[in-house]
Amino acid sequence: MALNVLVIGASRGIGLELVRQYREASARVIATARSDAGLAAVQALGAIPLRVDVANPASVSGLAWQLDGEKLDVALYVAGVMSRGDARMPPTQPDFDRVMHTNVLGAMQVIPQVAPLVEEAQGRFAFISSDMGHIAGVPSSYSWVYRVSKSALNMAVAAARFDYPRATLVALSPGWVQTDMGGADAPLTVRESVAAMRQTLTQLTPADSGKFFMHDGQPYSQW
């Protein structure tokens, strides 16, 4: 039977490529974006479009009723924003709020609405994190607000899995990828990263819930 997939933050980059590849694999895909252009892009790939701005709590809170009755084999929280300062300067509150609201608060608001629908299918719920959120491997404070946000996202996933035992929740690093965020020098094409993450998702077992993986399925042994 065709997979039922939800991609949150699908207007471009990794999210749009997830939509493309799951559609190529004949999945039924529901894809969220916040702009008209983003909604048109997912619709052009045959996905069912939903407007959600993950940084706006009122917008996110509508997800549950929009998805009423769905059983999701795969859900992905992809929306994310970057910030570049380091620990020699304090973050500004607007920048801190922008990054934390998008990368962390949005995910924490999505979990109680979407994880029960993933449980219905005993499915997988992946949160696109980053190597830059890996505390044990941190090489510098570069982009420290972003690093903090992705470490916090990992904790949200690790903690939430206890409340949704019939779903497999994981944090997933996509690698360094050629997108607007990753830039042209990144070693991985978006197609390669997404293909690897899709493969990794198929290999997960319930015992993996709460863990943090690289795109190719290697687990981070220390956080």
Interaction between residue 80 and ligand NDP (CB under 6 A)? yes
Within positions 12 to 31, which residues make up the interface with ligand NDP, using CB under 6 A? Answer: 12-15
Interaction between residue 145 and ligand NDP (CB under 6 A)? no
Which region, judged by CB under 6 A, interacts with ligand NDP, from 50-58, 64-72, 161-169, 211-219?
A: 50-58
| Amino acid at residue number 35 | S
Within positions 181 to 220, which residues make up the interface with ligand NDP, using CB under 6 A? Answer: 181-182, 186
Interaction between residue 55 and ligand NDP (CB under 6 A)? yes
Interaction between residue 34 and ligand NDP (CB under 6 A)? yes
Backbone angles phi, psi at 39, to 5 degrees: -65, -40
DSSP-H helix ranges across 121-162:
144-160
Angle made by CA atoms 75, 60, 51, in degrees to the nearest 5: 80
What minimum distance in Å lies between the beta carbon of 70 and ligand NDP?
A: 19
CA separation for the pair 139, 147 (Å, rounded):
11
Choose among 26, 31, 27: nearest CA to 14: 31
Interaction between residue 54 and ligand NDP (CB under 6 A)? yes
73: helix, strand or coil: coil
Interaction between residue 49 and ligand NDP (CB under 6 A)? no
